[in-house]
Every structure is written in structure tokens, then in C-alpha cells.
Structure 1
């Protein structure tokens, strides 16, 4: 997102149509959530993802106006009363855009986690928002990651600590340097023990290999942490991977940037496929050197004679 919408884009046509739908269904929390999200998406399109000082006044005003409208739309609806995780997520997006204290931000995310405890996105998003750049501090990030692990231990083991730190340490070198590495790696193991879907396995493998295994930052403490996490990809692939999801590997190589512009989905996926195959070729180089091939089965990778 550049913060510069196409001047020829009919920006108001779509949102006006959605507002009309909302007017026809004023008490429907799902419709309200969809329209509010549309306003918040437009807000971020105006603002971009740069620092505040880099955003022109006109863009900041448009950003604020769309978030104000989203707030008005969501105000009548309580996520807990509606038992609606979608609505809870929208309230999280709202407060992170409009601003709030760390306590308020955490409270919103705790509601989302309570309503949808298996959704790792809630934990990941909270971690990002607790970085000093946004609404928190390094101490608050560590505290809330540990609290999340305690609250969700029956479901994730120590995995919630890992989920909360997941994107935060990829984006912020100081947060990475302060990481409790053993706790994080234990969390990775707990996640994999508790979920066997290949989306999660690919996500974790690609994150370790592509995101944390990327170019060194030049900060010794940060790079040490990243190297240790990157090394965890080997066991994830050997023990848990049964199929390849190229799109996840492509996103991982770009730090899971939600503002990334993908001009061609096929080429983007192909880049992820190439990254994954490059990593797998390196991981299994000794086996491949003997003339054998690696085949991924429902039981994991298996060696076959060429």
C-alpha cells in the first residue's frame, strides 16, 4: 500500500453501495462488520504503511474519516453478546487504527481470542500491535505473550507465546533480540503436536526457513536468535511436512507483509515453489547426491531409488 490511490479509481461507488446494504440491514452484525472493514481498508489505502511523519495531511484526514465511520458502524454491536469472532476481529482492527492504550488493545484482542481460540491470527496480530511502533512496548509484548500462553495452555500448550511473538520478532530486531528463545522453540513444538493440518506445517516451516532464515540483520544478538529459529525448519519438514503450499512460502519470503502488492498470483506462487524446492534440495542434499529422490507422502518425506 503506497498511500496513493489510483486517481481514476471510483473510490466512492463501492462504499456507497455497501452503505446502502447496511441501511437495509441496520441490525445485522455481519453486514455491519463487512461495511466497517471496507471503510478501514479504504483508510489504510489512503494512509499507506509508512511512519506518521511520512503521511501527507490530506491522506491522514481521509484515514481518520474512514475509521471514524467504521467506529460509528460498529458501536451498536458487542462481539461477546453476538458470539461473533468476525465482529471481535473488526473491533481489534478498529482500535489499532484509531489508537488506544496497550490495556485497551489487549482487552479487544482477548475478546477475539476467547471467541476464536484456535485462530492463530488473533495472537499474531496482537503481538504486532504491541510493538513500540504501534501501541505497546517490548516489556508489554513479552508480558502479554506469556499471559496468552497461560490462558490457552490447554489448547496450544506454550504455543500461544510463539504465535504472539511470530510476526513481532520478524518485524522488529530489538524484539527478536529480547526473545525467550527456548520458550519460543518449545511453543513451536507444542503447536505442531496439537495441529497436523498442512497449512500450519507449511506456515511454520516457511517462517523458519524463509522469514527468519533471510539475510542477516547485522545485529549479533538478533541474528543469533534468527539462526536458531531457522534451524528448526529442518525438523518441521522431516517430521511433519506431507505437501507443499507455495503461496505460504512466497509470503514468508516477504515477511508476511499484508500490504504487499501481488501483480500476478501465478508468478507469486511460482516464486514460493522455487524457494521451497531450493530449501528442500539443500536439506536433502546428501540423499539426493546418492541418486535417490524425495517423495512426500501422508507419513512425511520418504526416500525412493531413482
Structure 2
């Protein structure tokens, strides 16, 4: 019998909920307040002071994302909608990626909806509805612009999901459920006749996909709409993270069929992103299940994590993958040696050849997790008194002095 490794909390950090449970890997890092510079290195006792590499409270990428949101929130606040829609359209059509892989169009959209997001975070429903009304007025003034339709539709989806998610316990009160369905219908109406494929718009495709949560035909549409979204932007992780959640039993799928769905996603995108889609599917599922789904192929999952890093080669993803591999390693202490070896080899290679700085926000236990990872890879050298330092590509060990 093959056991599935337990990785408690992994998916929460790697596929944290934003518009939907486990929609964006990019929300792993907790962005500092907007307008602040990147945080300085954090002093501490990682390896008793024997780590000589930058250790940051949060990733520079997340700081930049916050600045991008703030810049476009300011455009919206000043009513410069035509300018904002032009930026949004260009970024969407070009599939422009910000550092860390997040789509610039998504960041611009989030900036334009920032007052709504802030109201929803406070659960200030009247203020949120007022924000939606403002976007409805904007859409009415730009009714031929698909970007205006996207913003209004996404605002309705944000509100409906926030209302539904705010209720404690397993049940949702009838009036809240009806409100959720009502705003899903309003989102569908806002999108109108704009077709994501005809408009060449991954942003519209992502908004349309989220309708599946609140329309009667959600089961019938989810796979086709996922394929449209993924085909429009095949290197974007968000379609995989979003769709995978809806292939679980609480939505439109089964655990027995999940592995086949993950492998189908892998086949669709292997030419451009390797095995990353497979890993992303399983991360999204783990967010809901608390563990990797039964039948997950450990070697393929690890390969997918590594491919996810290589898609950008950035230190943001380097830390995501390092933290994931570390938790996998820790969870396999009683597994057969050959299974541990798969993770050990990947962690060793990743730290030595890819990691050049550490972001504490990516690690569940902060410095303790980083120390554990370094000890698994450099344990013998550390026992001889060596220190961990930056090398040509990643981390190396050297004697002090």
C-alpha cells in the first residue's frame, strides 16, 4: 500500500484563497502595506548565525505587487477609467507577467477594485454594495468595453463569495445563499455577450469561469470554460488552481477521478510548463482536503513543483518550492527510503542551485523551517563547523574565516 504524504498547512500557504479557495498561488506572500519599501533583512539565529544569505520578512515581488495595485487604485479613485481600461486591455492581451509570475492585468484589476476588497474584508456590506454601484455607473458609461464588464462582473462575484464565505458553520442561511446566487446572476449579466475567446482575454475567461459556482449549468460548463481560460494563457497557474477545486466531491468531481483530471491538465500544458499543472492541481486539492489527494504521484508532484519554479526562475517561487519540498521531507519521516530519496534529491538540488535568499512569509515555521531544510542538505558540513553561504548559483558551505 502506497501512503500519501501528509503536508498540513502546505496548500494554505501555496494556494491561499483570494477570489476563491485556492485560486492564486501568488497570494502566498503577505504583502506589506502599500508604498513601503522592501523590508530589510531579518536578523536572527538561523543555524545559530551560520547562514550568510539574505533573509527577508516578505518577498520583494509581493512589495512590487502592492505598489502596482496602489498605482491603479489611484487611477480609479481619480476617475481616470479610460486610461485604466487601456492599461488593463494591453496587459491582458499581452499576457504580461509581473515579477513572480502574477499577471499584471490581475493586479491592475485588483487595484481598481481595492475599495470593494477593503469593504469586504471589514464585512461592511453596505459600503461594498456602494462600491459595486460605482462600478455599475462606470460600466454604463463604457458599455462597449469588455474591461468595464469584467470589473463589474468580478465585483459581483467578489461580493457574493464573500457573503457566502462569511457564514460560520457548515450551512449557509437561505437569504445569504440567495444573495450569492443573485450576485452571480448579476455578474453573468454584466459579462453580457462578451466572449473571452473572441476578445482574446484571459481576464474575461477567468471571470466567466467563476460563474460555475452559482449557475445551474456550472457542472456542464466548468471543463470547457477551464480549457478556454488555460488555452488563452497556458503559462498562468491560476486556471489550474481554480479549476482543480471544482473537480472535488463538494463541487463537480470525485476523488476517484481527480488524478485523471490532473494528468489531463498536465498533458494540455506540458509543452510550455512541464509538469507544473499536475503539482498545482494537487496543491489546490490539498487546500480543500487538508492533504494531497489519494493516488497522488509523489515523483510527478515534486517534478511539477520544480517546473513551477523554472517557469520564472525568481526567488519568490524558489522559496515557495523550497518550503513545499521541506514540508514534504518532514512529512515522510516514516515513509520508505525510496520515497524520501525523491524529495531529498529535489531539495538538495534546489537549495544548491536555485535559492539565493529566503522569504520568511513563505515558510510555515519561519526560521525553524529554513534551518530544518538547510540541515537536511548541509548537515554533514555543518557538523564540521562550516557555514552556509551564497555560491555561484545557490547555496554552498564554507569554513569561516
Residue 235 of structure 2 aligns to a residue in which SS?
coil
Cα distance change on mapping 1:194 and 1:7 into 2, 3 Å: closer
Per the alignment, residue 138 of structure 2 pairs with 21
Residue-by-residue CA offset, 1:177-212 (whole Å, 9 max, x unaligned): 2213333334344445554232322222223334x5
Question: Distance in 2 between the 1:287 and 1:174 partners?
Answer: 33
Q: Contact 1:33–1:90 (CA<8 Å) still a contact in 2?
A: yes
Where does the alignment leave 5 or more consecutive residues of structure 2 unmatched? 1-16, 18-119
Distance 2:340 2:250 in 1: 24
Verify: 1:282 aligned to 2:375, yes or no.
Answer: yes
TM-score for both structures, normalised by structure 1: 0.76
Q: Does 1:302 align with 2:372?
A: no
Conservation of the 8 A alpha-carbon contact between 1:208 and 1:229:
no
User: How far did residue 16 of structure 1 move?
Assistant: 1.1
1:125 aligns with 2:242: yes
Per-residue deviation at 1:242? Answer: 2.0
Residues in 2 aligned to 1:285 and 1:92: alpha-carbon distance in whole angstroms = 47
Bigger mean CA offset, 126-135 vs 82-91: 126-135
Cα deviation, 1:26-76, whole Å, max 9, x if unaligned, reads 111112112211111111221117799521122212211211111111132
**Secondary structure at the counterpart of residue 168 of structure 1:** helix
- Give the 3 Å change call, closer, same or farther, for CA 233–102 of structure 1 in structure 2: farther
Question: Partner of 2:107 in structure 1?
Answer: none
Partner of 1:246: 360
1:129-144 alignment, distance < 5 Å: 129-144=246-261
Gap regions ≥5 residues in structure 1: 254-270
Deviation string, structure 1 residues 145-198 (Cα, Å, up to 9, x no partner): 222222222112333222222221353268622213333334344445554232
Contact 1:161–1:183 under 8 Å retained in 2: yes
In the alignment, structure 1 residue 110 sits paired with structure 2 residue 218: no
CA distance in 1, matches of 2:145, 2:208: 15
The answer to whether the 8 Å contact 2:319/2:355 transfers is yes
Alpha carbons of 1:289 and 1:195: their partners in 2 closer, same or farther (altered >3 Å)?
A: same
- Residue 249 of structure 2 aligns to a residue in which SS? coil
Superposition RMSD on alpha carbons, in Å?
3.5
Map 1:62-211 to 2 at 5 A. Answer: 62-98=179-215, 100-172=217-289, 176-192=293-309, 195-210=312-327
Cα distance between partner residues in 2 of 1:7 and 1:51: 17
The offset of 1:300, in angstroms, is: 0.4
1:55 is paired with a residue of what secondary structure?
A: coil
Q: Is the 8 A contact 1:132 1:138 kept in 2?
A: yes
Aligned length in residues: 279
Structure 1 residue 281: Cα displacement:
4.6
Higher RCO by CA contacts (8 Å cutoff, separation 6 or greater): 2
2:194 alignment partner, SS class: coil
Aligned partner of residue 149 in structure 1, secondary structure = helix
- Answer 1 or 2: which has greater helix percent: 1
Contact 2:244 2:281 in 1 (8 A): yes
Distance 1:233 1:51 in 2: 39
Check 1:22–1:170 CA distance in 2 against 1; reply closer, same or farther (3 A cut): closer
TM-score by length of 2: 0.60
